[in-house]
Amino acid sequence: MPAPFLDAAARHPLRLPDGTVHANTVHLARVIDHPNISVGDFGYAHDFEPVTDWAARLAPYLHPGAPERLVIGRFAQVAHGVRFVTASANHPRRGISTYPFGIFQTEVATDWAALAGPHPDTVIGDDCWLGHGATLLPGARLGAGVIVSAGAVVRGEVPAFAIVAGNPGRVVAMRFPPDAVAALEAVRWWDRPTPWIEAHRALIEGGDIAALARAADGAGWAPGLEEPLAIRAGGGTTRPGARPSERTTS
């Protein structure tokens, strides 16, 4: 009997056409055992080179016992070269020098957290795509469905289903209009049981948000959707009969 298409327990979720396992693609929840890092099921990362310690590769400044945490949601997609610069990388800025004297004195190392200032958590929402070489700065908080472009440097709050690019990173587009975002956040397909996700994969990969909402609640429209809403080819959304000026683009 073939294995289920989605297997959260698999260390390596990707098999190449010849059947071999792609060793450099991993489910992060299966390879990271770190007290300060939490990863949701099906979140994966890829690297061009073999990685022996995924926690150290992705978040090199996040040491066990640090005040902050890194939280990565379900179905996150992490490309090669992504780095999380967590708050413990910060240097003290209250005095004349930023030199971190405290961390080199082991007898007072426990005071380093106070010396370096606040230590906010870094939170990556469900179904986020972090592009090649992106950098997430201390305290970055991404909503669900965010796309971070290759090489972007991101800090602060990023709303759900935004597209972020550049250095400093800024929101360059929203993937969907507000009513569609509200519907997707109400459906929360990423939190559904795996059999439901597999059964509705075509809707999740497709562009009819209202159809996905109907499948999720069994009948009727999702909150804020009074008529069908579908993604147009090339991005944006449209409702049947809408004039070109009424169509949205992302």
- φ/ψ region of 127 (left if φ > 0, alpha if ψ in -120 to 50, else beta) reads left
Selected catalytic residue, list 91, 119, 132, 200: 91
Task: Give the total residue count for the chain.
Answer: 250
Give which of 174, 199, 175 is closest to 189, Cα–Cα.
Answer: 199
Output DSSP code: residue 27: E
Please provide residue 130's backbone torsions phi and psi, each rounded to the nearest 5 degrees. Answer: -105, 115
Instruction: Please indicate whether residue 46 is annotated as part of the active site.
Output: no
Are 60 and 67 in contact by the 8 Å Cβ rule? The answer is no
Output DSSP code: residue 87: G
Side chain identity at 236, as an amino acid letter? Answer: G
Cα 115–chain centre separation:
30
- Residues with a known catalytic role: 91
